[in-house]
Amino acid sequence: MDNPPKVGQNILKIRSRKKLTLNALSERSGISKGMLSQIESEKANPTVATVWKIARGLNVSLNDVLEESAEEQKLFSVNPAGNENNTIETTENGVTIHILSPMSMVEDLEMYYCTFEPHSKLSSEPHYEGTTEFLTIIKGTVKVYTDRDSAELKKGEFIMYRCDVNHTIENASGQTAIVHMVVRYAVRT
């Protein structure tokens, strides 16, 4: 990306297409009408958290607000290893999550490489309705459970499940487990 995205213009286009007033978007997003007006006219530079709130208020993905249009998306894009602008690594409760996909894909199709230390787990609240997670077990064993189902998986196995309910991935063993995770968000209108 040579130039920063025209976030304000994109918000205005989406809001107009959805026939929402500034007042309506303000109520939905929790962002003041005045701030929304400044953002749309490119007079204010919003934080990522503000853009996220606006995207939720518009009921679109963060990617929709950041991208110019679907036609301009690249069909061939490399996310170099170690590119700090596109990847984040976080460790919490013995689980290290390395985000493989670029930030432009957030809330569309996200890919992760997760390392679970012995006796660790990753619990998540429901994602958007219709969101699906796909796991491939690279090493070790993990147990996946949702509000409705559960399964124990070992190296080489694959699972897909709706994650618009509470869900957990747990390594109950004494060995490290590694999982490749893909999260596919449902198309929201």
Return the structure tokens found at 22.
């500034």
Distance CA 138, CA 24 (A): 46
pLDDT at 70: 45
Per-residue pLDDT band at 123 (split at 50, 70, 90): very high
User: Is residue 110 pLDDT above 50, yes or no?
Assistant: yes
Indicate the range of 59-68, 118-127, 136-145 predicted with least confidence: 59-68
pLDDT greater than 80 at residue 120: yes
Percent of the chain scoring above 70 in pLDDT: 83
Give the three-class secondary structure for 185: coil
Q: Look-up: residue for tokens 């679970």?
A: 116
Task: Tell me whether residue 167 is exposed, middle or buried, using C-beta atoms within 10 angstroms of its C-beta: 0 to 12, 13 to 18, 19 or more.
Answer: buried
Q: Where in the chain are the domains?
A: 7-72, 89-184
Cβ neighbours, 10 Å, residue 8: 22
What per-residue confidence (pLDDT) applies to 108?
79
Which CATH code is given to the segment(s) 89-184? 2.60.120.10
Report, as an integer, the average pLDDT of 40-64.
88
The percentage of the chain sitting over the pLDDT mark of 90, rounded to a whole number, equals 49
Evaluate if residue 189 carries a pLDDT over 80.
no
**What confidence tens digit (pLDDT) does each residue in 64-75 have?**
888 764 444 455
Identical fold, 7-72 and 89-184: no
Answer for the pair 83, 98: CB distance below 8 angstroms, yes or no: no
> How is residue 184 written in tokens?
């596919």
- Going by their DSSP bridges, the two strands 158-162 and 120-124 should be labelled as unpaired
Residues sharing a CB contact under 8 Å with residue 98, sequence separation 6 or more, in sequence order: 87, 88, 89, 112, 113, 114, 115
Sequence letter at residue 122: L
Q: Find tokens 């690594």 and name the residue.
A: 89
Say whether pLDDT at 121 is over 70.
Answer: yes
Domain 7-72 bears CATH identifier 1.10.150.170: no
